[in-house]
Structure 1
Amino acid sequence: MTRRLHPAWLVAAVAFVALVGAAGFRATPAVMLHPLHEEFRWPIATISAAVSINLILYGLTAPFAAALMEKFGIRRVVSGALVLVATGSGLTVFMNASWQLILCWGVLVGLGTGSMALAFVATVTGRWFVKRRGLVTGVLTAGGAAGQLVFLPLLATVIEANGWRTASLIVAGSALAVVPLVLWRLRDRPADLGVTAYGAAPDEDPEPAPVTGGAAARALGALRAAARTRAFWLLAGGFAICGATTNGLVGTHFIPAAHDHGMTETTAASLLALVGLFDIAGTIASGWLTDRVDSRVLLGAYYALRGGSLLVLPSLFAESAGPSMLVFIIFYGLDWVATVPPTVALCREYFGASGAVVFGWVFASHQIGAAVAATSAGLIRDQLGTYALAWYVAGGLSIGAAVLSLLLRRTGKVVPMTIEPPKPKVPVGWRLRPAED
């Protein structure tokens, strides 16, 4: 007899494709920064401000998107998000003022990609998996790295040959191309297919019914309850530094910083894509470790190692990528978003059924940190003519994040949450199959 593939794996596969696209779409401004500066003569800080708004909305949208997924379903939210990305990217070809860049790449693309951010990962793994949850979280998170790997070198080459407008249209077309796949294969809950979550025992609690209350009230209520705990602020503080030292600084300014030292943008984009390649391995390994090792210890080690690597980065820039830079790329890449699986696990440990929404707020802090770093690094570059100070500050902050992570208290109990979603009426004769908590 052949063993049938559990539908959870198909859902995870489609989610991976959507996450690959979301990460690639969001990272695109990194290769457009200098072309926009050269064509429109806008200051680097102005263009960085558009990236900052993108990063903030990418994070702030996450908890509301997680709540919307609870109310309207994953499929509808993700499909709408892809259409929003396509609209924002496509409209950029008509812009002639910096506020239009902020509207298109900052607001529209930020909202769209934020709806497919890491809270989406927490929602999918929380609903569809009991066993292998940490590993699947790592694989889906690695989709972000794969997005960089696929899009950045391609778009850098397209921009060099055909200009940034062609690249914007490629992003728009790619986003629309994913919509049919999402509508075809992505499912909201195991009960929709008459199955339980992967690895769920038959006697486990039934899967929670869809939320009928307002998504905004659900998201804000989860924040109010979580904000009364020490764990939330330690997680949010560490993750804010995580965002500042990845998306905000390296993701946005590595290419222009390398260009300042004579390296071509195509070469720098390829190095950044290589970070994504090694991040795939690092994040999957982190997910595997999260199922086996205390997440607090993992976070402390990840942040400390990242801090050390950023402190040496300024001395590695040159016209070509030497062996030392390649060592940095490999080391830093393995650590890029390895922090996500243990952070998701800790949110679930401390906040239980509200873990996905609370993680959305923790992820919002990640993007606020990224936005501050993106703008601050642009200002440092404009004022000092070099990014060196930005790298040193980021290294010190990463070591501070390691300390915050190790201050988290070990507990086997879920922190009580005062918010409870309203319970819908289930028609007579309906029965929800067993699933996870």
Structure 2
Amino acid sequence: MTEPPAAIPALSERDRTRLAWWVLGGCFLAFTLSASLMHAYTVFLLAFVVEFGWTRAEASIAYSVGQVVAGVSSPLAGGLADRLGSRRMVMLGGCLLALGLLLSAFAQTLWQVVVLYGVVMTLGANFVGMVVFVPLISRLFATRRGMAVSVLQSANGVGRAISAPVAQLLVSGMGWRNAYLLLAAVLTVLVPLARLLPRREREPPAAGATAGVRDWTLAEAAATWQFWVLGLVYMLTSIGSFLVSLHQMAFAVGMGFEPLYAAGVLGLGAFLALPGVIVTGTLSDRIGRETAALVTYGISIFGVACALFIEDSSQHVMFWLHACFFGITWGARGPAITAKTADLFPGPRLGTILGVITIGSGLGAGIGSWAAGLLFDLTGSYRLGFWLSMAAYALGALAFWTLRRPVKC
């Protein structure tokens, strides 16, 4: 296997394209690994409940803290990526993830798990995630940005799909503490993956890029209404998604579906997100970011609406429609929204700009998942939450549609 060079020099179009795919592959694998480790918490949560006697709410605190930390630390990740480059960020993030895993193997109290997973590991994962990789990938695939970002973002779905079974096998076979130690050792894979990334990232624009494009700063971007609309879009989309996703299983069981059956149906829906993300991102290069996103918002709304028609466990068709149509668009708007951010605010400070904008995503995830549970406690049903999910999606679609015209420099 030939190792790509440390920097991106002046190359032929063919060599530049090949190198760009090398870099995308390295980013994809690194992001898959970090996402897998973070999604595996669902398995370790049950192990904590058994060993320490914590309630589900107590064991979930680390996850909730992680969502908030992921959102508020995005500007830090983006700013550091602009200064240090993606290679150094992967190494830094890998060290934080390894430290969190190693110390978690010896955790004895709830606050230790909250700090190690919710803060240390979440920061590490943010340094090996979308905010760090998107600026680099956006420059390398200037004319196919939507496709490249969608491939990168699908790594989160791959990590989500493989994390639970792998983590469960490890926990069942060697106990959760030894599983943490083994996963920490696995992170050494990040060293060769980091070497697939360029040492310097101020390379000339990729073929097909427009010459003389303005290099935006955070202050300049924040002075535009498009910047704030993008933040609102991220937040509304996350609210719409997390008003449903975190409570799908509880809703299905409450309707009378057998838990294992419900998990299988919802699992298939989650798997459909992988092709959904890639197709939507690629489509956004051809029909426009706004139109592609509008389609996915409509599909998500239809999927949520199907759940409103479920009255009991005899309505298998509606349950399948809900799982598949909601699942196939999970994360599918991400590539279009992220690529749109790169379209509007290109330049060496894109990581910083994207990091600040994506605070809205973390806030929306926290608001949506918390509000769904609160509404259920108040009304005894998830239906009001589902209606609000559709409303949030509709408002997000409307806000994103306003971005179809470029920013005036």
Residues matched between the structures, number: 393
Separation (CA, whole Å) in 2 of partners of 1:378 and 1:94 = 32
Deviation at 1:300, TM superposition (A): 3.0
AA aligned to 1:302 is: T
Work out which of the residue numbers 182, 199, 209 in structure 1 matches 2:193: 182
Partner of 1:238: 233
CA distance in 2 between partners of 1:387 and 1:173 (Å):
42
Q: Does 1:325 align with 2:324?
A: no
Written as runs of structure 1 = structure 2, the 5 A alignment for 1:224-303 is 224-246=219-241, 248-249=242-243, 252-255=246-249, 263-264=258-259, 273-303=267-297
Which amino acid counterpart does residue 92 of structure 1 have in structure 2? S
The Cα of 1:383 is off from its aligned counterpart by 6.8
CA contact (8 A) 1:85 1:109 kept: yes
Equivalent pairs: percent with the same residue?
A: 25
TM-score (norm 1): 0.77
Deviates more, 1:78-87 or 1:307-316: 307-316
Aligned with 1:96: secondary structure? coil
Distance in 1 of aligned mates of 2:311 and 2:47: 21
Change in 2 beyond 3 A, CA 1:394/1:49: farther
Whole-angstrom CA distance in 2 between matches of 1:320 and 1:61? 45
Aligned residue type for 1:232: F
Q: Rate the CA distance shift 1:166–1:374 in 2: closer, same or farther, 3 A.
A: farther
Secondary structure of the residue that 1:95 maps to in structure 2?
A: coil
Distance across 1 between alignment mates of 2:133 and 2:265: 26
Aligned to 1:74: 86
Q: Which moved more, 1:140-149 or 1:290-299?
A: 290-299
Q: Which residue of 2 aligns with 1:367?
A: 362
Q: Which amino acid aligns with 1:338?
A: A
Superposed displacement of residue 270, structure 1: 5.5
Q: Matched residues in 2 for 1:207 and 1:77: separation? A: 26
Q: Deviations over 1:305-328 (max 9, x none)?
A: 313322433666988995543433
Task: List runs of 5+ in structure 2 lacking aligned partners.
Answer: 1-13
Instruction: Give the partner amino acid of 1:84.
Output: L
Matched, 1:130 2:145: no
**What is the identity, as a one-letter code, of the residue corresponding to 1:294?**
G
How far the C-alpha of 1:56 sits from its partner, in A, is: 1.8
Q: 1:183-208: CA deviations, max 9, x gaps?
A: 3322144667xxx554257x945998
Q: Could you tell me which amino acid in structure 2 is paired with residue 87 of structure 1? A: L
What SS does structure 1 have at the residue aligned with 2:142? Answer: coil
- 1:268/1:155 CA distance change after superposition, 3 Å: farther
What RMSD, in angstroms, separates the aligned Cα atoms of the two structures? 3.5
**CA shift digits 1:322-367 (9 cap, x unpaired):** 5543433332232111112221232133323244432222222101
Pick aligned residue for 1:111 from 120, 123, 129:
123
| Deviation at residue 380 of structure 1 after TM alignment | 5.2
The answer to whether the 8 A contact 2:93-2:127 is kept is yes
Cα distance, 1:82 vs structure 2: 1.7
More displaced 10-residue stretch of structure 1: 21-30 or 373-382: 373-382
1:399 alignment partner in structure 2: 394
Q: Check conservation: 2:138, 2:148, Cα contact below 8 A.
A: no
In the superposition, relative to structure 1, how do residues 253 and 170 fare at CA in structure 2: closer, same or farther (>3 Å)?
farther
Say which of 54, 68, 72 aligns to 1:60.
72
Task: Tell me the CA shift for residue 281 of structure 1.
Answer: 1.0
Distance 1:320 1:181 in 2: 51
What does residue 6 of structure 2 align with?
Answer: none
TM-score (norm 2): 0.82
Counterparts in 2 of 1:318-397, with a 5 A limit? 322=316, 324-353=318-347, 354-379=349-374, 389-397=384-392
State whether residues 141 and 340 of structure 1, in contact with CA within 8 Å, keep that contact through their aligned partners in structure 2.
yes
